[in-house]
C-alpha cells in the first residue's frame, strides 16, 4: 500500500488522471446515472473497441442524459455492431502506406509517425479504431530506422506526430524523438495531432511546455474538438499556456450525427475556439470505419449545415469542409455543388 502511494506520487497529475480513466461500460453508466438498459448492448460493442473516458471529460457530460453530445462520442452502443460493406476496418488504406513500423507516408512532403499506441479517450467514430498498434513495435531500433527513412527523403519538410495520441507518450521520449528529428536539416516543422489537452487538460504541464519551447522545430498543435461543451475553464487555461509560448493552435472536428450536425452548434464551437485563440481548420466528413455507421450525416444535411455556417461566420472562423479519399495526394475540399 505504502509502495503504491509512492508510485502515484512520482507520476505527473495527468498520468494519474489517465490511470483513473473509466474503462468499463458499467462504471460509465453508473457514474452518469444512465439507464442500465444501455449496459448489455454497450458491453458487446466494447468488446470490439474498449471504452475509455478520463474523469475530467466525464465531468463535462450531463448526468442522466443519454443524448448528451459528449456522451455519444464515448459510449459504446448496439449500432456499432451493424455491418455495412462500405464501412471498413482501414477506411483510409493506411496499412498500404506503412513503409516501416511507426511510419505512415501518404503525402509527398509530410510523414506521419505513430508516436502513441493508445489514446486518453476512445472516440467511437475513430478511423483508427481497428488499427493494429501492437504490430507497430516501438523500440529504439525501430525509431532509428524511422528516422533514417526521413533523413533519406529530402522532400519531407514536415513530420506529424499522431497515434493513438502522441501526447500520451512521456515527455522524456517526446523530447528525445524531437531532438533527433530536429537534427535532420530538411525537416522544417513538427505537427502534433492530439486530443489530450482537451480531454485531460493537466497534460499541459511545465515539462511539456519546456520540450516544446526547446526545439528549433516550431510545433503546431492540431486539436480535435467536436463540440463547444468540450471547452471548459480547465481546457481554456491549458490552451492559454500553449499560446503564451507561441504555439500555433488549429482545430479539426468530425461532423457526427446527433453530436454536432447542427449549424448553431458548430458556429458556437468556432466562436469558442476564437476566444481561446484556436483557428478552426478542418470540418471532416466522417471516414467510413466499421462500427461508426450511426454517425453518418447525409449529403443534404451537410450542405444545409455548412451553408448556414458560411452565412453566419467570417471566413477566418469557417473551417474547411474536407474528406479524405484513399489514394489522393492531399485531403479533398468538399464543394457544396458536388
Ligand atoms: S483521440 Fe483521436 S486517435 Fe484517439 S480515439 Fe479519439 S479520434 Fe481516435
Residue with cell string 467514430: 125
Burial class (CB in 10 A: 0-12, 13-18, 19+), 189: middle
| Whether the predicted pLDDT of 9 surpasses 80 | no
**Going by CA atoms, what residue is nearest to atom 1 of ligand 1?**
195
Mutate which of 91, 161, 165 for ligand 1 pocket (most atoms within 8 A of beta carbon): 165
| Cell, residue 266 | 458548430
Q: Which residues line ligand 1 (CB under 6 A)?
A: 119, 121-123, 126, 128, 165, 195, 224
pLDDT confidence of residue 41: 83
pLDDT confidence of residue 6: 43
**Going by CA atoms, what residue is nearest to atom 3 of ligand 1?**
164
- If you measure from the C-alpha of residue 5 to the centroid of ligand 1, how many angstroms do you get, rounded to a whole number? 30
Cα–Cα distances in Å, from 155 out to 107, 108, 110, 143? 10, 7, 8, 20
- If you measure from the C-alpha of residue 52 to the centroid of ligand 1, how many angstroms do you get, rounded to a whole number? 11
Residue with cell string 489522393: 328
**Going by CA atoms, what residue is nearest to atom 6 of ligand 1?**
123
The 103-107 sheet, strands edge to edge: 103-107, 110-114, 158-162, 189-194, 218-224, 248-254, 279-284, 320-323, 332-333
Q: For a pLDDT cut of 70, what percent of the chain falls above it?
A: 97
pLDDT in tens, 19-69: 999 999 999 999 999 999 999 889 999 999 999 999 999 999 999 999 999
| pLDDT bracket for residue 116 (50, 70, 90) | confident
Residue of 247, 285, 229 lying closest to 238 (CA atoms): 247
pLDDT confidence of residue 337: 82
pLDDT in tens, 73-103: 999 999 999 999 999 999 999 898 999 989 9
Dist CA 98 CA 136 (whole Å): 10
| Whether the predicted pLDDT of 8 surpasses 70 | no
CB 92 within 8 A of CB 137: no
| Whether the predicted pLDDT of 329 surpasses 90 | no
- Find residue 159's DSSP bridge partners: 111, 190
Within the chain, all domains assigned CATH 3.20.20.70 are found at 94-333
CATH number of 94-333: 3.20.20.70
pLDDT in tens, 121-156: 999 999 999 988 887 767 888 899 999 999 999 999
pLDDT confidence of residue 3: 39
Dist CA 168 CA 119 (whole Å): 7
User: φ, ψ for residue 284 (rounded to 5)?
Assistant: -90, 140
User: φ, ψ for residue 135 (rounded to 5)?
Assistant: -85, -10
Helices in 97-226 by DSSP H: which ranges? 140-151, 171-182, 196-199, 206-213
pLDDT confidence of residue 2: 40
pLDDT in tens, 225-261: 999 999 999 999 999 999 999 999 999 999 999 999 9
Find all residues with CB under 8 Å of 72, minimum gap 6, and list them: 124, 256, 258, 259
Q: What secondary structure letter does DSSP report for 100?
A: B
Find all residues with CB under 8 Å of 31, minimum gap 6, and list them: 22, 58
Amino acid at each position: 500500500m505504502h509502495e503504491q502511494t509512492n508510485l502515484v506520487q512520482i507520476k505527473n497529475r495527468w498520468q494519474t488522471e489517465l490511470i483513473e480513466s473509466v474503462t468499463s461500460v458499467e462504471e460509465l453508466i453508473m457514474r452518469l446515472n444512465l439507464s442500465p438498459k444501455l449496459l448489455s448492448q454497450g458491453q458487446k460493442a466494447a468488446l470490439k473497441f474498449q471504452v475509455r473516458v478520463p474523469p475530467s471529460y466525464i465531468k463535462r457530460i450531463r448526468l442522466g442524459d443519454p443524448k448528451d453530445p459528449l456522451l455519444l462520442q464515448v459510449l459504446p452502443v448496439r449500432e456499432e455492431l451493424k455491418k455495412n460493406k462500405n464501412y471498413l476496418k482501414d477506411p483510409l488504406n493506411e496499412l498500404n502506406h506503412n513503409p516501416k513500423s511507426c511510419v505512415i507516408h501518404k503525402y509527398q512532403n509530410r510523414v506521419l509517425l505513430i508516436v502513441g499506441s493508445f489514446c486518453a479517450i476512445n472516440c467511437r467514430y475513430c478511423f483508427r479504431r481497428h488499427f493494429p498498434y501492437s504490430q507497430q513495435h516501438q523500440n529504439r531500433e525501430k525509431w532509428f530506422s524511422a528516422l533514417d527513412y526521413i533523413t533519406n527523403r529530402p522532400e519531407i519538410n514536415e513530420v506529424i506526430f499522431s497515434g493513438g495520441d502522441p501526447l500520451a507518450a512521456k515527455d522524456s521520449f517526446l523530447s528525445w524523438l524531437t531532438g533527433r528529428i530536429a537534427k535532420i536539416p530538411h525537416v522544417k516543422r513538427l505537427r502534433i495531432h492530439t486530443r489530450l489537452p482537451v480531454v485531460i487538460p493537466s497534460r499541459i504541464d511545465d515539462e511539456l511546455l519546456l520540450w516544446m519551447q526547446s526545439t528549433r522545430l516550431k510545433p503546431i498543435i492540431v486539436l480535435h474538438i467536436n463540440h463547444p461543451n468540450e471547452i471548459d475553464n480547465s481546457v481554456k487555461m491549458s490552451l492559454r499556456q500553449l499560446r503564451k509560448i507561441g504555439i500555433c493552435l488549429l482545430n479539426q472536428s468530425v461532423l457526427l450525427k446527433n453530436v454536432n450536425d447542427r449549424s448553431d452548434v458548430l458556429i458556437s464551437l468556432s466562436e469558442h475556439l476564437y476566444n481561446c485563440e484556436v483557428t478552426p481548420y478542418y470540418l471532416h466528413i466522417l471516414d467510413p470505419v466499421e462500427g461508426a455507421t450511426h454517425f453518418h450525416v447525409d449529403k443534404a444535411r451537410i450542405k444545409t449545415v455548412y451553408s448556414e455556417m458560411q452565412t453566419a461566420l467570417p471566413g477566418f472562423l469557417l473551417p474547411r469542409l474536407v474528406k479524405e479519399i484513399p489514394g489522393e495526394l492531399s485531403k479533398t475540399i468538399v464543394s457544396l455543388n458536388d
